[in-house]
Amino acid sequence: MKRKLITVVIILVCFLLQGTVFHYLTFASIRPNLLITVTSSFGFMRGKKEGMFVGVISGMLSDLFWGNVLGFNIILYSVIGYVNGSFKRMFYDDDIKLPIALIGASEIVYGLTVYACIYMLRGDFAFLTYLANIILPELVYTILVTLVLYQIILYVNKKLEEEEQRSASKFV
C-alpha cells in the first residue's frame, strides 16, 4: 500500500512539474515529458503490471488536463509502461545506458504515435518538420531532465525495496 501511495505521489509531482514549472522552462515551445520518464522508469524497475499501472494514471492525468480525446494517452502510456516492463530482467541499478535508451525510445514512440494519430489523420503531412521541430528537441530535453529525475526515482525505489525486504524478514 505504501508503495502504491508513493508511486501516485511521484506521478502527481511530475505531472504538476510538467504543467507548471516546465511550462516556464520551455525551449522553442518544447518541454520535457516527465510522465514518459516516470512510466518507463517504473516499467523497467518494477515490471509490466507496475508499468501499466503508472501508465494508466499518467495517461489519465494527461488526457483529463491536456488531451482532446479521453483514452488516447491512457492507452499510449500504458502500452509504453508494459513494453518497458518487459525489460525488467535486463535492468541493473548501476547501468544508466539501458534506462536512457528505453526512455529515449519511449519518447520517440510517443512522438511518432501522436503525429500519426493526431496530425497525420487531420491531413498534416509535414512529418520532417514535426520531427525536427517537436519530436527530436523534446527527446533531447526529456533525456537531459531524465538524467536527474531518474536518479531520484531510482533512490526512492531502492529505499522502498529495502523497507519491503526488512518487513518481509520480520514475518519469516
Residue 129 in any domain: the answer is: yes
The mean per-residue pLDDT over the stretch 149-167 comes to 93
Residue 152 lies in a domain: yes
Buried/exposed 37-56: b ≥16 CB within 10 Å, e otherwise: bbbbbbbbbbbbebbbbbbb
Record the pTM: 0.93
In a domain, 113, yes or no: yes
pLDDT at 81 over 90: yes
Mean per-residue pLDDT of the chain: 94
User: Is residue 170, in this structure, part of any structural domain at all?
Assistant: no
Domain harbouring 128, CATH code: 1.10.1760.20
Percent of the chain whose predicted confidence (pLDDT) is above 90: 82
User: What per-residue confidence (pLDDT) applies to 19?
Assistant: 93
> Whole domain around residue 98: which residue ranges?
2-86+93-163
Count of beta carbons in the 10 Å neighbourhood of residue 12: 13
Considering its fold, how many domains does the chain have in total?
A: 1
Q: What is the pLDDT of residues 17-71, one digit of tens each?
A: 999 999 899 888 899 999 999 999 999 999 999 999 999 999 999 999 998 889 9
The pLDDT assigned to 172 comes to: 60
Q: Assess contact for 3 and 48: CB atoms under 8 A.
A: no
Residue 171 belongs to some domain of the structure? no
Which amino acid is present at 59?
A: G
